[in-house]
Amino acid sequence: MIRFYQHRKIFFAISILLILSSIVAAFINGIQLDIQFKGGTIVKYTYSGQINAEQAEKIVEQAVGRTTNCQLQSNMAKDEQMLIVSLASNEALTSQEQETITSVLTKAFPDAKLALSESLTVEPFIGRHFFINGMIAIGLSFLLILVYVGLRFKNIGGLSAGAMAIVALLHDALIVTGAFIIFKIPLNDSFIAAILTIIGFSINDTIVIYDRIRENERLLGKKVSTEELVDTSITQSMTRSINTNVAVFMSITVVYIFAQIYDIGSIRAFALPMMFGIISGCYSTICIAGPLWTMWQNHKQKVKSAHA
């Protein structure tokens, strides 16, 4: 048996430190919303040869009269260069305006063989709607999980078990958000999906441990203290927790490595924070949710005996 409860303060300190560093990173890097959430337009072109980004910026700004930001990016795997034109705007860029951008750029850089690669336009209003929807989805998932755990684990104090599981989930959600901020990945719908997946995955982990506590309580009954009960249960399910996490971590890492080598931005931005979330999920389940729940139970007993 590993004494998780005894060492809980170390675990809590590690978690608080990690979450604090996410918050510090948020102040340093700022939280960027992708145009999917804040609205605006991104047009990407592939090209060869030379393009001056500042010059391109001026040309586009003149043509459509909106604040423009142009960036150049080269892709190692495909020997291709990209010109990324992003326009923040209060109103979505019309498709005619996008056509204009393409034609002025083609005229300005006739030898660059500009070709449209990707284009995304989102109305700010719709973007806000997406963002709010995503937040509702995350909130709803917390609520439903709390209700489900509360109902299914009634005999080990379901609601408190659910509440502690939610604390662990919030921990994971913060770590994933931190990963997005530290790696400067703008938040978009893959952020919502990553958070939800980690929530689902981490609670799955926690439930396996709760299930073991439920079973051990039946077997060991009142013979052992809550501490011992929880520590035994966690120790018993630990090989499983670690092995499952190895399998999931391996899969998502393979996805990340391939997305990195072949430069698939959308998948990379989703897989990287997920890798952190998986480690965090495994950690929070073992080191946070269990000890927290034990503290809660101990506290309840103390109150009870004080009244008696």
Partner 1 sequence: MKSKPVFFIIVLLTAALFLLAVFGLKIGNFELKGADKMRYGIDIRGGVEATYEPKDLDRAPTESELQAARAILETRMDASNITDRDVTVDKSNGKVIVRFPWKSDEADFDPQKAVSELGETAKLTFRDPDGNIVLEGADVKKSSAQIQQNNMQPVVTLELSNDGAVKFAQATARLIGQSISIYMDETLISAPVVRSQITGGNAEITNLESLEEASALSNKINSGALPFSLVVKNLNIISPTLGSNALSVMVMAGKVAFALVCLFMLLYYRIPGLVACIALLLQVTGQLLALSIPQFTLTLPGIAGVILSIGMGVDANVIVSERIKEELNTGKTLRSAINSGFERAFSSVFDGNITVMIVAIILIIFGSGSMLSFGYTLLCGVIMNFVAGVTASRLMIRSLSNFKALQRPQYYGAKEAVK
Q: Which of residues 189-248 bind partner 1 (CB under 8 A)?
A: 189-190, 192-193, 196-197, 199-201, 203-205, 207-208, 210-212, 214-215, 236-237, 239-240, 243-244, 246-248
215 token code pair? 């079973």
- 81 binds partner 1 per the rule CB under 8 A: no
Burial of 272 per CB tally in 10 Å (0-12, 13-18, 19+): buried
Do the Cβ atoms of 132 and 240 come closer than 8 Å?
no
- 47 binds partner 1 per the rule CB under 8 A: no
Residue 54 Cβ vs partner 1, minimum distance, rounded to whole Å: 24
Sole binder of partner 1 in the list 144, 220, 279, 303 (CB under 8 A):
144
- By C-beta, is 21 or 71 nearer to partner 1? 71
Sole binder of partner 1 in the list 3, 71, 107, 258 (CB under 8 A):
258
Query: Taking CB under 8 A as the criterion, which residues in 16-45 touch partner 1?
Result: 36
- 99 binds partner 1 per the rule CB under 8 A: yes
**Residues with Cβ < 8 Å from 17, sequence gap 6 or more?**
none
- Name the β-bridge partners of 115: 46
Sole binder of partner 1 in the list 12, 148, 183, 296 (CB under 8 A):
148
Radius of gyration of the chain (CA): 25
CA distance 282 to 245: 7
Angle at 267 between CA 31 and CA 194, to 5 degrees: 55
- 92 binds partner 1 per the rule CB under 8 A: yes
Q: Which amino acid is at 164?
A: M
Binding-residue total with partner 1 (CB under 8 A): 76
Window of 50-58, 109-117, 222-230, 299-307 that interacts with partner 1 by CB under 8 A = 109-117
116 token code pair? 């449209």
Sole binder of partner 1 in the list 14, 17, 118, 218 (CB under 8 A):
118
Window of 64-72, 145-153, 179-187, 286-294 that interacts with partner 1 by CB under 8 A = 145-153
- By C-beta, is 109 or 191 nearer to partner 1? 191
- 155 binds partner 1 per the rule CB under 8 A: no
Window of 112-120, 176-184, 223-231, 297-305 that interacts with partner 1 by CB under 8 A = 112-120
Do the Cβ atoms of 47 and 113 come closer than 8 Å?
yes
- 98 binds partner 1 per the rule CB under 8 A: yes
Nearest to 208 by CA among 238, 243, 173: 238
- By C-beta, is 244 or 298 nearer to partner 1? 244
CA distance 51 to 132: 39
Do the Cβ atoms of 122 and 35 come closer than 8 Å?
yes
Q: Report the half-sphere exposure of 83 (CA within 13 A, side-chain side).
A: 27
Do the Cβ atoms of 171 and 292 come closer than 8 Å?
no
- 60 binds partner 1 per the rule CB under 8 A: no
- 88 binds partner 1 per the rule CB under 8 A: no
